[in-house]
Structure 1
Amino acid sequence: MKFAIAGIVALLAALATHADQGNADTWTRSGMYVTATVDVDATGKIQHMELLPFRDNRGRDLAPSLRSLAESTMAKWEFVPATLNGHPVPAHTFVNAVFEFKAHGNDLDARVVSTGNGPKLIKADAPQYPLDMIHARVQANLTLLVIVQPSGKLTDITLESAQTTHGYPAAEFFRSAKNAMASWHAQPETVQGHPIETRLRLPFHYSLDNNPNSQQPPAGLTRASDSPAAPMQTDIGTEAVALDSPLQLRPTAP
């Protein structure tokens, strides 16, 4: 689905600060990610959806036209339903999505694309950029694995992969991420009203041009010398995505 944004000069200027430059005939993924809390029935259809508060990197609310697009698009998505003892049952999850834009004359077309679903992390403390890495001019992209317990506690935090400047060891960045996550908790997914354990993949970006965990990952990095595995190509922004959610989004066109 796409939505034409016409005659709003200020909005177009704001979108240009988010969207990367690309071919005018292709959709360009922005840094504007939104999350909705959804209740899904036993058939996989959304019965209730609420878009969570959004602020861009300048502290501004989501434009009403874009909020309307996100709500109307996401409300139509359907899931493979959760099951309990082999029977479909209602479930609750949090859906993450991103805005994509395409040039349309002097305007922009917009659409909303899913980036996955899972528990909602409540991030109390932000990760601190390691001072030694600032002095060494080292940037990093990390992917962590973590388990959300039914209580909302985060456990079993491990480093899945890391990219850094010139392949520099990522240990200090991993330590920074774990220290921040010690103050975090989560709102778990539920199946028939009962909270469940869910395994997450969570990206961290450390850029010298932005705050830690920026939505725009630094480019030109290589696999860190202490990375457990080769980094995956992912485009999920800063939101965690469940690896074993009881709800799976049915494939649909954007």
Structure 2
Amino acid sequence: MGAGLAREVVLWAALVLPGAPARAADGRVVQTYHLQAGLDVDTAGQVARVELPREIPAVLSAPAQEAIKRWRFKPPMRHGRAVTARTYASVDLVLAKQPDGNYGVDVRYIKNGPALALRPPRWPMEQVDGRLTMAAVVQPDGSLTDIRLVASEFSSPLARKQCALAVEEAIRHSRALPERVDGKPVATRVQIPVTFTTQASAGVAGARPDRTKDAGAEARETPELSGQAVALDSPVQPLVAEPRG
């Protein structure tokens, strides 16, 4: 973002929970950042510290941190008392140009849980289209275990089996930053949706191939884990509450 834009930005930020109207709809969206933020939550459920990716421009980082610190969570309990926690939130940071020529920022909460670094699975078959959901447990050491198929939609049992094996292998070799409760890492159950599609036009929602340069060869795809992994039992649960003053 150029210095000129930085000078004219009138920054505002708001917590937009799922289902809430987006203020950016009042203007023209200039850019959307999909990011993961590390959140330290205190015993009152307030966000005491925010870690944003370094590539987020400073002119957006400050209002984003201000907005996120207004979020409220239900802190975990240990031995009958509230304790601190560390979680990782998926956030959309939306820069929009308003009708008056100024710029605004929406900070939208998507979900929270462990931070997963998922390996892309190998492409299991020549032609395949379908989707599946895998369940796993992020262990305190960052490994993913107890991996199993929980849902799938494929045209054949063979396609389902091959795709499930490919995704299971990828997840098994992936790593995660576990959530923390009272300073100690904890296990969290997650579900990971994956979409396989052979069409190169599928876009980011699908598992897309790298085209081969072999004459007469079918274009193949190197699939990526698609969709957002969802934490099923995160110890840090969001609350809908009025922001601080």
Change (3 A) 1:253 1:98: farther
Instruction: Verify: 1:51 aligned to 2:45, yes or no.
Output: no
Matched to 1:115, the amino acid is: I
Specify which of 105, 108, 114 is matched with residue 109 of structure 2. Answer: 114
Q: Secondary structure at the match of 1:179?
A: helix
Change (3 A) 1:190 1:148: same
Point out the structure with max Rg over C-alpha: 2
Give structure 2 stretches of 5+ with no counterpart: 10-24, 208-225
Q: Does the CA-based 8 Å contact 1:27-1:100 persist in structure 2?
A: no
Q: Secondary structure at the match of 1:47?
A: strand
Change (3 A) 1:43 1:145: same
1:182 shift after superposition: 2.2
1: CA distance between counterparts of 2:102 and 2:196? 33
Instruction: Verify: 1:152 aligned to 2:142, yes or no.
Output: yes
1: CA distance between counterparts of 2:156 and 2:102? 40
Q: Does the CA-based 8 Å contact 1:5-1:110 persist in structure 2?
A: no
Q: Does the CA-based 8 Å contact 1:69-1:111 persist in structure 2?
A: no
Q: Does the CA-based 8 Å contact 2:36-2:53 persist in structure 1?
A: yes
Q: Does the CA-based 8 Å contact 1:5-1:109 persist in structure 2?
A: no
Q: Secondary structure at the match of 1:175?
A: helix
2: CA distance between counterparts of 1:189 and 1:148? 9
Q: Does the CA-based 8 Å contact 1:31-1:216 persist in structure 2?
A: no
What corresponds to 2:88 in structure 1?
94
2: CA distance between counterparts of 1:167 and 1:111? 44
**Aligned pairs (5 A) from 1:137-148:** 138-148=128-138
What corresponds to 1:181 in structure 2?
171
Q: Secondary structure at the match of 1:128?
A: coil
Q: Secondary structure at the match of 2:140?
A: coil
Structure 1 length-normalised TM? 0.64
Matched to 2:45, the amino acid is: G
1:170 shift after superposition: 2.5
Q: Deviations over 1:94-126 (max 9, x none)?
A: 111224577855888652221211111233x32
Give the RMSD, CA atoms, in angstroms: 3.9
Q: Deviations over 1:206-240 (max 9, x none)?
A: 3445699x74248xxxxxxxxxxxxxxxxxx7442
**Aligned pairs (5 A) from 1:220-239:** 238-239=227-228
2: CA distance between counterparts of 1:195 and 1:156? 18
Q: Does the CA-based 8 Å contact 1:141-1:217 persist in structure 2?
A: no
Q: Does the CA-based 8 Å contact 1:118-1:245 persist in structure 2?
A: yes
How many residues align? The count is 205
Give structure 1 stretches of 5+ with no counterpart: 9-23, 54-60, 219-236
Q: Deviations over 1:69-88 (max 9, x none)?
A: 53332222111111002210
Instruction: Verify: 1:249 aligned to 2:244, yes or no.
Output: no
1: CA distance between counterparts of 2:34 and 2:115? 14
Q: Does the CA-based 8 Å contact 1:35-1:94 persist in structure 2?
A: yes
